[in-house]
Structure formats: structure tokens, C-alpha cells
């Protein structure tokens, strides 16, 4: 969770029903509280405990009196029964002192799970309200492509769970795919993939597998140093970068970079890559060894870690645009 204030190192969730013993005051830890409704009636009804909202208010007052509130943030679980109240919940959160309001879609199935065509308009209205009242708006667990101008409010790009807790049909075809996890898998099971509702910003080409133009993959070619001029084609995907190298006089080889490991067989290892060659033609023995070791040494010298491959997370970085583009 990102902090609003650089001095806030972390956040803790507030349990309004927990013991009222004076809490240790840590000025670097912010407090997150949950609000389900725009007032006591709806909040208490959803959490199923009469007086819950009053206890939350009282707890926050007490913490404030004890000077134990370095920063406050509000989290609003999205449910079918509070969607109509989201904008008013922003006002409640502000009155309670929250600097940030996060709208969190459910990640497990339950009676409160609503379809995106109901959630999104309500969330967009609430984000507009956040902007009006000066509260930072955030969203969790919804697709970025449906948030329009508020796409930047989406938080939590990574999904470290296995099997994945989020999924999107367009994950690797959408420009937003590297910072959007898509829909919760529980949502997909209940309401489907929403293929017709999602608005992916489709890449012109999902990933340029093969490109023999001299401009392509300039940053990747540059890794090879002087040998870059002998590269006839680059094939790049998330698992490997492969350079077809023409050594002249009918001699060629394919140089292969894969993500750096400590164990896999490799000719050499640079900061980000294991380096191998394959498909050597017309060359062998000591001459081949001399050539590939020279190229590998160039890569090791030039690999500063800015280019990388990752078969599981995201796409490798595209080469920078030419100046003036």
C-alpha cells in the first residue's frame, strides 16, 4: 500500500472491536479503517453488528485524543448493497479524517459481489467525489481499462498468488497489462470474463516476435558491442532474447540470452542473463570458442541490469523510442 506521506513507512488495520488498551504510538505507521456504509444504519447492517459504526467513531476519537494517529486511510469494500452510497461514504471518510479512500472489489465469491456494470459507475462517481473533496482516491481489484481517466487510481499491480487470484483475457495484449491484474478469478467464475465489457488498450502488435529491421531492439542489439553490426535478426519474448549472428563466409550462430540463474548451464552469466549459443554453422572448435567468448564478454561488460527477461511477470522492456519520435 503506498503511503501518502513519505514519513509513513507502513499501515496497520484498525479493529474497532479490539481491546481498548492504550496502543503504542508509532508515528511512522498509518491506520486503515473500514467503512461499509454512509452512516451507522447501513454500516451496521452490512457488518451485522449493531453499534459497529459508533464504536469505530469512538475508537478513532480516542486514538486522536491519545495523539496516536499519524495518518488515516479509509477502505471501502465494494458490495451490492453499498454501491449507491459510495459518494456519500467518501464524505464520511473525510469527516473521520481519512486522507485516502480505497474502494476494494471482493476477491472471494459471496452475496455481496456485484457485476462490473454496476460497480464501475458507482466507483467512478466516488472517485470524482474524492477529487472534489481533496481525498486521494484508490481502487483495488477492478480492471484499469474500465476506470477511464481514473485508471491511475488502480493499486496493486502484482499478483504473487499461485494459482493466480486475478486474470484477464487480454493480459498480454493490452497496454495496461503491466499495471493491471484484471478481474478476481472468483468474479470470473461467477460473472464470466466480461470480454464484451472490458475495454483493453490493445497493442498494435502483442509482442514483436521477429523483427529483422536494423532499428528494432536497438537497446538489445547494443548489448553485443561490436558484434551488433553482425546481427541479422532479433527474436525477443519474455523467456529469451535470441540474436541471429552472421559471422561471414557462411558462418553463423544464434546467441541466446535467458533470465539469469545460478544453476542452469551457460557459457557465461551477465547481470541479468545466462548466455548461450546454438545453431552454429560453418564454425567450430577453438575459433567458435573465441568468437562466442568475445561476444559474451561484451554482453557481460554492457549489461547494467536495465534490460531483463521474466517468464512469469510482465513483458521485457521495449527499446526506447528514437529521439524526435
Partner 1 sequence: MYTPTTVEHPRHRLASSAAAPRSAGGERLFDLAFAPYRPLRPTAGKAGGDALLWEALQVAGARERWEPALRAIQRGVGRGRTIWGASVGAAQRTWRLRLANPGRVRLLEALRAELGPWLAVAPSVDDDGAYDVLGIELSEEVAARGCVDAVSHYLRGAEPRTLEVWQVGSAGRRRVDEVLIAEAKREINVTLPRIKASPIVDFSGDRSLLGRTLIPELFACRYLHVCRRCDADALVYSGINVDQLTWFLSRFGHPAALVDYARGQRERLDHLLFDVEVAYRQEGVAIVYPETTLYGNL
In the complex, the residues that contact partner 1 under the rule CB under 8 A are 162-164, 167, 169-173, 183, 185, 188-196, 206-207, 235, 242, 254, 256, 263-267, 276-279, 289
- Residue 40 CB, nearest approach to partner 1 (Å): 35
- Residue 234 CB, nearest approach to partner 1 (Å): 12
User: Closer CB to partner 1, residue 33 or residue 170?
Assistant: 170
User: Closer CB to partner 1, residue 74 or residue 299?
Assistant: 299
User: Closer CB to partner 1, residue 49 or residue 279?
Assistant: 279
User: Closer CB to partner 1, residue 59 or residue 242?
Assistant: 242
Q: Residues 78, 105: contact at Cβ < 8 Å?
A: yes
Q: Residues 112, 106: contact at Cβ < 8 Å?
A: yes
Contacts of 209 (CB under 8 A, 6+ apart): 235, 236, 237
Residue among 172, 114, 174, 170 nearest 141 (CA): 114
- Residue 125 CB, nearest approach to partner 1 (Å): 24
- Residue 318 CB, nearest approach to partner 1 (Å): 15
User: Closer CB to partner 1, residue 8 or residue 241?
Assistant: 241
User: Which class for 215: exposed (0-12), middle (13-18), buried (19 or more C-beta within 10 A)?
Assistant: exposed
Strand partners, 231: 245
Terminal CA-CA length for the chain = 35
Q: Provide φ and ψ at 33, rounded to 5°.
A: -120, 155
- Residue 163 CB, nearest approach to partner 1 (Å): 4
CA distance 69 to 71: 5
Amino acid at each position: 500500500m503506498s503511503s501518502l506521506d513519505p514519513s509513513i513507512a507502513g499501515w496497520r488495520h484498525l479493529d474497532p472491536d479490539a481491546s481498548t488498551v492504550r496502543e503504542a504510538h508509532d508515528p511512522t505507521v498509518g491506520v486503515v479503517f473500514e467503512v461499509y456504509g454512509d452512516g451507522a444504519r447501513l454500516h451496521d447492517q452490512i457488518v451485522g453488528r449493531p453499534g459497529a459504526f459508533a464504536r469505530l467513531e469512538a475508537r478513532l476519537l480516542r486514538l486522536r485524543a491519545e495523539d496516536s494517529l499519524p495518518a488515516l486511510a479509509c477502505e471501502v469494500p465494494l458490495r451490492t448493497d453499498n454501491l449507491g452510497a459510495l459518494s456519500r461514504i467518501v464524505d464520511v471518510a473525510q469527516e473521520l479524517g481519512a486522507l485516502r479512500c480505497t474502494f476494494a472489489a471482493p476477491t472471494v465469491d459471496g452475496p455481496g459481489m456485484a457485476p462490473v456494470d454496476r460497480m464501475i459507475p458507482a466507483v467512478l462517481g466516488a472517485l470524482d467525489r474524492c477529487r472534489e473533496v481533496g481525498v486521494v482516491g484508490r481502487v483495488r481489484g477492478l480492471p484499469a481499462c474500465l476506470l477511464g481517466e481514473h485508471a491511475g487510481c488502480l493499486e496493486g499491480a502484482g499478483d504473487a498468488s499461485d494459482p493466480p487470484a486475478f486474470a484477464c483475457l487480454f493480459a498480454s495484449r493490452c497496454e495496461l497489462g503491466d499495471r493491471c491484474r484484471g478481474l478476481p478469478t472468483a468474479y470470473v467464475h461467477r460473472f464470466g470474463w466480461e470480454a464484451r465489457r472490458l475495454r483493453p488498450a490493445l497493442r498494435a502488435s502483442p509482442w514483436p516476435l521477429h523483427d529483422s529491421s536494423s532499428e528494432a531492439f536497438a537497446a538489445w542489439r547494443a548489448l553485443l558491442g561490436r558484434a551488433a553490426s553482425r546481427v541479422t535478426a532479433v527474436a525477443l519474448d519474455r523467456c529469451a532474447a535470441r540474436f541471429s549472428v552472421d559471422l561471414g563466409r557462411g558462418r553463423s550462430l544464434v546467441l541466446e540470452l535467458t533470465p539469469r540463474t545460478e544453476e542452469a548451464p551457460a557459457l557465461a552469466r551477465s547481470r541479468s542473463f545466462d548466455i548461450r549459443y546454438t545453431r552454429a554453422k560453418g564454425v567450430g572448435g577453438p575459433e567458435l570458442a573465441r568468437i562466442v567468448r568475445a561476444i559474451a564478454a561484451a554482453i557481460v561488460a554492457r549489461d547494467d541490469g536495465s534490460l531483463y527477461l521474466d517468464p512469469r511477470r510482465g513483458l521485457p522492456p521495449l527499446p526506447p523510442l528514437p529521439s524526435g519520435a
